[in-house]
Amino acid sequence: MKKVLEKLFNDNMGFLTSAQMRGSAFRYHLNKMIASGQVYKVRHGLYVHTDYQQYDERVMVAEMVPSGVFCLFTAWHIYELTTTVSYQYHMAVPRSTKINPAPYPPVALYYLSEKVYKLGIDEIQFNGKIVKCYNKERSVCDAVKFRNKTGEDIMQEVIKNYMKMKDKNFDMLLKYAKILRVEKLMQPYLKALI
């Protein structure tokens, strides 16, 4: 049974949920693996194998917050829109979500209305696992929208780096800016860089 459990961890990129392990035999072997330090309990119902070679903390955070979408500093860092690295992961969730993430890794949650939450979600891969992240255009709009919290210098860096990208989509950027009500705030910065 332990070999079956090891294979399950391997097939799931080092992560397992309680729903994937049914039966008392799994529980017994899982508890032994936790006691020996082979498996780490991330939170209730989520486990990660410590020997897994392609461990990525972003995947663990995405598993901890299944409805979460990487945003702000985390999204900017993924797309190389900023050189600033935050000490925590930033995730947007629907306003109705009730979640209590584990203390580590640290996660900042942003509760958004359904319409704003769904705007610009992309799926990206880390070590074979798919996670949700706001696309570049949405991320630029968020830099403008949250400039008072994150800093004007960060906003300018994000916009400047976006403007250097070859795969930018101005139509989508302006559409998102209008929906998020930052179009007038963003235009002077875009004009200065065109």
DSSP string, 124-158: EEETTEEEEEE-HHHHHHHHHHTHHHH-HHHHHHH
Query: Do 70 and 17 lie in a common domain?
Result: no
Same-domain check for residues 26 and 97 = no
Q: Which residue has the higher pLDDT, 56 or 124?
A: 124
Asked if residue 89 and residue 49 are part of one domain, the reply reads no
Q: pLDDT tens-digit profile of 28-81?
A: 888 888 888 888 887 777 788 887 645 678 888 888 899 999 999 999 999 999
For residues 74 and 141, membership in a common domain is answered with yes
* Residue 95 near residue 123, CB atoms below 8 Å: no
What percent of the chain is modeled with pLDDT above 90?
A: 55
Q: What total number of domains does the chain contain?
A: 2
Distance of CA 95 to the CA centre of its chain: 17
Say whether both 83 and 179 belong to one domain.
Answer: yes
Residue 84 pLDDT greater than 70, yes or no: yes
Find the domain containing 85 and state its range. Answer: 59-193
142 pLDDT above the threshold of 80:
yes
pTM, two decimal places: 0.75
Does residue 32 sit in the same domain as residue 63?
no
Alpha helices of the chain — where are they, by DSSP H?
2-11, 24-35, 57-64, 72-78, 114-118, 136-145, 147-150, 152-164, 170-179, 183-193
In single-letter form, the type of residue at position 52 comes to Y
